[in-house]
Structure 1
Amino acid sequence: MDQARSTIFKIINGEPHSYTRFNLTQNMEGDNSQVEMKLASAVDEEGGENGVGDHLNHSTSRQPYVAQKLGRSPKNLCFLAAATLLIFIIGYLIGYLVHRKKDLSPISPDFDPVEKTFPIIHETGAATPMNWDRVKNLLANKISPSKLESVFREFSSSSHQAGSTGDEVLRTMVVDKFTEYGMKTWTDDHYVKVQIAPAAGSNRIVFKGQTSLPKGFLSYSANGTVTSTVVYAHYGRQNDLMSLAKKLNMSGKVVLVRAGLITFAEKVYNAAKMNASGVLIYADPSDLSMEENTELYGHVHMGSGDPYTPGFPSFNHSQFPPVQSSGLPKILAQTITPGMATKIMRQLGGQSAPAEWGCFNKLGDESDDITLVVNNVLTEKKINNIFGVIQGLVDADRYVVIGAQRDAWGPGFAASTVGTGILLELARSISEMVEYDGFKPRRSIVFASWSAGEYGSVGTTEWLEAHLTTLNMKAFTFINLDSVVSGYGRFKVAASPLLHSLIESTLKEVNSPNKGRTLFSEFGQDNWENNVLEPLKMDNAAYPFLAFSGIPSISFRFMPRNKEYPFFGTMLDTPERLSMATSGQLNQLAVLAAKFAGHMALKLVHDHLLQMDLLKYNDIIRSHVYQINVKVRNIKRMQPQLFSKALTVQWLISAAGAYSRAMEKLSRDIEHSDTDNIEKCRLLNDRIMAVERNFLSPYVSPRDSPYRHILLGSDSYTLAAVSQHLDHLQTNHPDADADLFRYQFGLATWTIQGCANALAGHIWSLGNEI
């Protein structure tokens, strides 16, 4: 056609005497463009006396060049019309012959007729997703005991403490695996301060002339020397210490407690509140079956992350003035072996332990002097978090994170190797599903290998602190794989209430080791929530995701029927001992754990809308509000001088009601939504993701109070703390303060109302009920 146009121009005007100007105007109705062509004649070029073309002089007397040359007589016009028609026919024939010649030419081997004939269609994710049953079956067929056993064997290591050479070797291996699976991979580096064990003999205990030199230690203990009386305090729980305080004065004492039930950090924190000067922790043979010379390792930071950069990431300590977490203890803490503890307890005098402790130990008296020396070494280590991502096709910037701790005090087979192996097998399996089997995830999956988990989820928390403003807007779930298999007999899950429905459906779809039964029928009969669910604790890597970043999180584990796995935090956490603890079913249980985690992750990236139990928090809020209301009414009746008449729980009740209505509206919007409308699904998913994040109190600093979640956090602004403060007011507890309570009460009320407002809709649609 270009040749035809050229022929027409030459016949009518001869060779053009000037340029041809093309004016391209965007076609707003489509992707094509219109072309407006203007020809400037020789007369235009000559222009006026100033050399400017007449087309710029706005002269109306000038006729078009062709009309001037040919005139306007009927004869000439007829001739012109006939000539134009003839030229058009000739041009059409020329164009037809040219294109036919191209069509008949030999086809090049590289020629793709589909690609040349039709426009390339880019995947938008709008197509119907793969059938869910097929997705489940694909995952089930990818994961096998033999493949997991191979990965466990490859990643087993006798020494891989955070920041060590062994940790670095595993880091490189994880990067290579992620790269092999075709994932985009990156590294997140941090320089963190940790305490390591001192030279042999530096930490010691002297009791009645006998010196013991433990090799185990507790990172983040205070350093120094204490000489005092030792007393026995059972597990070191708050009620244990309150019972002990009724029998003797604990101020300045060194407290001997057994491991278990609560974390090492909680034991030391509770003892410090009672003005104790030190804590000794041992593994009691009646709880944990281990040899009498078994050393314990752990940390006592009442928090997570680097305690010397609270609330901000550990990229460079020199950029900030010296600061430390309020969760660092100010008293000494040290672990001792069961043998050392037995020698001490056999010589204790004084009163008998309370009957509810179920033991025959003496509590100790003034003659039971002990000297405790702790000289841990504070050092800076470089740690690496490793990430790989499978990108979604619709909402690639929305992602579920699956993570596992990579480091350990010793072999750490149950603590880290099993979780790392499952993480890598899930990465391989899902990558293959996308690459070869046609699975198209709507959202992305990020796989994370953390370091410094043994020091209190340091790698996890530092990453969250570094990307807080991004993650709580884009990450919608975290699945933790730490310590997922330590035995068989119980299955426990700790999670955000928003994930309870997803947990229940997954339990019903994943088969148990007993043929013909699901995990739900195996562990969740009668009342699955009571049988399976447990609180999410601060020492769990999922906790900072939930309470610090407002991201719904889950952690789960297969564990022994009666007792805890005894070898966490020891040098005895080996493949052989874990195999014994699982009765030889380690690989089969690892497959179940991989299917459980993978099933939830795939469900979250497969469905159009995120599967969240939106109404679950209504029940939790109402329960807290009811308890607070009852306690306030009792105090106003029994101790009216504490509160003025102006204080009313109606504020809190109204806020809870507003939240309930907002959640019900969101649920209705989801129920009546069009799942084929990508944009509306994205908007609804963003509202769902905001639910957990809105429970982070906006009235406190993440640096001073990192776990700001008012329902699942751990500070004075939570609803649980408000309720407990009322208990203190009723009993005249030393910490009771009526004015402080009103402040806490007001902040909690407005946080809930803020959640309701954020969920309700546009700012101009909100009421003003409070």
Structure 2
Amino acid sequence: MAIDGTRSTAAYSRFAEEMDIDSDAVEVNTRGGPEESGKLGFIKVCLLARWKLWGVMVLCLLSFLFGFLLTHVMVTSCVKEPGTNPPTPQMSSNGSTEDHQGEGRKFSEVLASHINVHHFKYFLQQFTMHNNTMSHESGSDGSNYDARDIEKTWKAQGFDVTSKIYKVQLTRPNITERSSLVITGGAQPEFNITPDNQEKESLVLPPFTVNSPSGDIDPAAPIFIDYGMAKDFEYLKKEGDLSVEGRVCVFKLGMVQTPILVQRCAEHGGVGVIAFPDPADYANGQGYPNGNSLPSNAFIRDNASPLFGDPRTPSLPSSGGVVDDTNYNITLLPTMIISADDAARLLSVMSFPVAPLEWIGGLSLDGEDAIYNVGSSQSGFQDNGQRMKMSVRNEQVLKDITNVFGTIRGSTEPDRYIIFGCHRDSLTPGAVEPGTGMAVFMELTRLVKQLQLKGWFPRRTIIFASWDGGDDGHIGSTEWVEENKEILNQRAVVYINLDEAVSGQNSFAAEGSAIFAKSILQAISEVNSPDPDMEGQTVLDNWKIKNPGTNEYQLRPLGVNSDATPFLHIAGVPSVDLKYTYSKNGKHIPRYPLWHTSLDTVHYVETFIDTDWQKHRAMTEIAGRLLLMYADDIVLPVDVNDYATVIESYYLKLQETYPDFNLDQLERAVNKFKDAASKFHSSFIQQIDVKNDLQVREANDRLVAVERAFLSSDEKGHMYPQLRHMIYGPSSIGAYEAEGLSPLSYALHLANSTTYEIHEQRLQVVLSSTSVAVEKAANALLVDGLFT
């Protein structure tokens, strides 16, 4: 049924066929009126003629009808057929937005009461251990086994289940010829590093760097550049007149994302990258298994490329082996991540000068503090006879990866999609990421089935997506979004990601679009805090205590480190990543201590992160409440004033940070958006007639259209290629944390730190593109004739 009440004669896309979703839009129900009054007169005449006989017959008929109606009401109150519309709440005279809520919210407490904490460990073991018989990296037997298991589970729960396979390029370590770092010659004994698993019997792949090219660098002259910040390179040039040209850059992990380290090394003429986790950042107490810190002999896996998706086909789906002749200017260098122990040995034998005091961390060598040498000599070593050979041995292989989808068709708006996603693959055991996400994800799907048994069916279509290829650069989610971006751009309402649902004991956190501010604040205010010291208080109470002074309406900006990335930046779908976080205590650590190591096990989760599974319970309830809101509220739980407030705060921060730059153009756009958001909310949303299906449809479409408006026509100044959203993205310094007005912040950073004319020109382009995007968002809230 189309929005005007007419039925379409064709499926709207191959996407609909694959997902088994009909193209029906809003259905407007009509009912016949009462019978003609003439019939009542005829009955009266007959009754007057033979009133006793007719009286008995009427009593019998009334008794029959009463029994029939009573039985019908009792049955239909217990069993609700799919595809029926829920009762429509009546609009109050004062225009309260409480009337915008759907029937689904009435099931919130039912959902919470059915959460079973005993399921979390079962799911965690199911998607990480595989009875110790197989690994589960993307495209592997383990990942395929999990895909089949998910399909069986969802089919048993009554979901419409489909899968999508893509043939993609993956990087894998050469098992027969291993990567190594060898120092020979001089008075020192030979020093040989071969990254390996801490657990020798582990089935996971040996440590390697995704998308790092293979190659030999011999001799490899190392030079230490701290965290790889722009100021660190400047120090080498100004203080020591040291050149990176032809050298292997040695960095500490944590402050700057690995792909940016690779790019900066290449930009300065470097030929290879070595990175390591410094204990000053990664060690906060005893190392695992005696504590929850990263042991000094642990190896981390990461990605060397800033691209996401199949590296052969950026911006295009991997269908039929299509290869895109792209002009992305990406330089990849042989990259190796070593352990802290090996880094201590390497830096100690490198040549003087000793690194600046602020560069020295917590490396230890033979029980003593290790020396952090910069490596100024031509060879990089103290002993002129020493030389280093760096060998990276990776393979590029083509593999089939499988995405699995479980769908519940909406009853009233089946062509509007609420999407929940979590990748299931991991280069390691991956108990925290994505294991905790999969545990919450699978429990959530079970709960939705329980609600259906109790009579609830969503207004909008719900899609549960299990992605493959997450640890290889969000490949599964990216290829699917690239293939279906037009449909998603038109029909997807929100995307909610759960990859790293429980990574610590600190507090709840959400990274994503400000569209979610209202609903998330509502959800976390209704869920009990899992902190044992906060009995009787809510997750919101805990959040405020752990984040003093933070404006609760400002979610953290969304970066590029989850499967939410392609949804936001390619299709413009409002996206959010939910998690319970690890407390970094001011240290430079990307996620949590054992991230992407072979020590990220079920034992680690149940011993040091969530011993009673209450954080998993809280995250499941939060996700469930959001699902009920977005899938069933008549008017979406969005206040665009929240988005306006957030963008204004980003603008004011940039204005304060860069006072010498004229940002008046953006200021005018922000003020226009604020004004449009305020009028739209007060003059349209608060006055909406929830019984008017077309008006509700218009309101919801325009709320979601705000996010689409922030997409630029192409990549405009982002630090990472492929990114198109002008509000959210990675930090201007390359940190793992994201930043508001990301491309503009990056352009300002470059223009402020250099005198190159090209950076001034780039700033003007990005400033104009950002201002236009904000104005487009304002226009999405304005309709001709609506305001005067």
State the Cα distance separating 1:422 from its structure 2 match. Answer: 1.6
Name 1:379's counterpart in structure 2: 397
Distance 1:151 1:628 in 2: 44
- 2:780 maps to a residue whose letter is A
Greater relative CO (CA pairs within 8 A, separation 6+): 2
Name 1:690's counterpart in structure 2: 705
- 1:351 maps to a residue whose letter is P
- The answer to whether residue 206 in structure 2 is matched with residue 179 in structure 1 is no
Alignment of 1:140-539 (within 5 A): 140-157=112-129, 158=132, 159-209=135-185, 210-214=191-195, 215-226=206-217, 227-246=219-238, 247=240, 248-286=242-280, 287-288=282-283, 289=287, 290-317=294-321, 319-320=322-323, 323=326, 326=329, 328-359=330-361, 361-366=372-377, 367=379, 368=381, 369-435=387-453, 437-513=454-530, 514=532, 515-525=535-545, 526-529=548-551, 533-539=555-561
Classify 1:723/1:449 alpha carbon distance in 2 versus 1 (closer, same or farther; 3 Å).
closer
Alignment check: 8 A CA contact 1:473 1:689 kept:
no
Classify 1:485/1:131 alpha carbon distance in 2 versus 1 (closer, same or farther; 3 Å).
same
Distance 2:249 2:396 in 1: 24
Q: CA offsets, 1:396-450, max 9 Å, x none? A: 2112111111101122111222222221111111122022x12232222211100
State the Cα distance separating 1:283 from its structure 2 match. Answer: 2.8
Distance 1:547 1:134 in 2: 34
2:726 counterpart (699, 710, 727): 710
Alignment check: 8 A CA contact 1:698 1:751 kept:
no
Matched positions, count: 646
- 2:606 maps to a residue whose letter is S
Distance 1:714 1:580 in 2: 33
Name 2:46's counterpart in structure 1: none
State the Cα distance separating 1:127 from its structure 2 match. Answer: 3.5
State the Cα distance separating 1:164 from its structure 2 match. Answer: 0.8
Q: After the TM superposition, which of the residue ranges 227-236 and 175-184 deviates more from structure 2?
A: 227-236
- The answer to whether residue 591 in structure 2 is matched with residue 571 in structure 1 is no
Q: CA offsets, 1:563-601, max 9 Å, x none? A: 65322211111111222222623x222111111111111
Q: CA offsets, 1:607-655, max 9 Å, x none? A: 21111231233234445655777899846xxxxxxxxxxxx86554443
Alignment check: 8 A CA contact 1:207 1:371 kept:
yes
State the Cα distance separating 1:554 from its structure 2 match. Answer: 1.4
TM norm structure 1? 0.76
State the Cα distance separating 1:358 from its structure 2 match. Answer: 4.7
- 2:170 maps to a residue whose letter is V
State the Cα distance separating 1:190 from its structure 2 match. Answer: 0.9
Alignment check: 8 A CA contact 1:410 1:570 kept:
yes
Distance 1:421 1:250 in 2: 46
Q: CA offsets, 1:383-408, max 9 Å, x none? A: 01101012222212112111111101
Name 2:94's counterpart in structure 1: none
- 1:370 maps to a residue whose letter is M
- 1:659 maps to a residue whose letter is F
Name 1:608's counterpart in structure 2: 634
Alignment check: 8 A CA contact 1:392 1:444 kept:
yes
State the Cα distance separating 1:695 from its structure 2 match. Answer: 0.3
Q: Secondary structure at the match of 2:640?
A: coil
Classify 1:629/1:364 alpha carbon distance in 2 versus 1 (closer, same or farther; 3 Å).
closer
Classify 1:577/1:631 alpha carbon distance in 2 versus 1 (closer, same or farther; 3 Å).
closer
TM norm structure 2? 0.75
User: Which structure has the bigger radius of gyration?
Assistant: 1
- The answer to whether residue 674 in structure 2 is matched with residue 657 in structure 1 is no
Q: Secondary structure at the match of 2:511?
A: strand
Query: Cα RMSD (Å) of the superposition?
Result: 3.6
Classify 1:149/1:471 alpha carbon distance in 2 versus 1 (closer, same or farther; 3 Å).
same
Q: Secondary structure at the match of 2:713?
A: coil
Alignment check: 8 A CA contact 1:508 1:519 kept:
yes
Classify 1:213/1:664 alpha carbon distance in 2 versus 1 (closer, same or farther; 3 Å).
same
Q: After the TM superposition, which of the residue ranges 353-362 and 517-526 deviates more from structure 2?
A: 353-362
Name 1:75's counterpart in structure 2: none
Classify 1:407/1:740 alpha carbon distance in 2 versus 1 (closer, same or farther; 3 Å).
closer
Q: Which runs of 5+ in 1 are unaligned?
A: 1-28, 33-99, 636-647
State the Cα distance separating 1:145 from its structure 2 match. Answer: 0.9
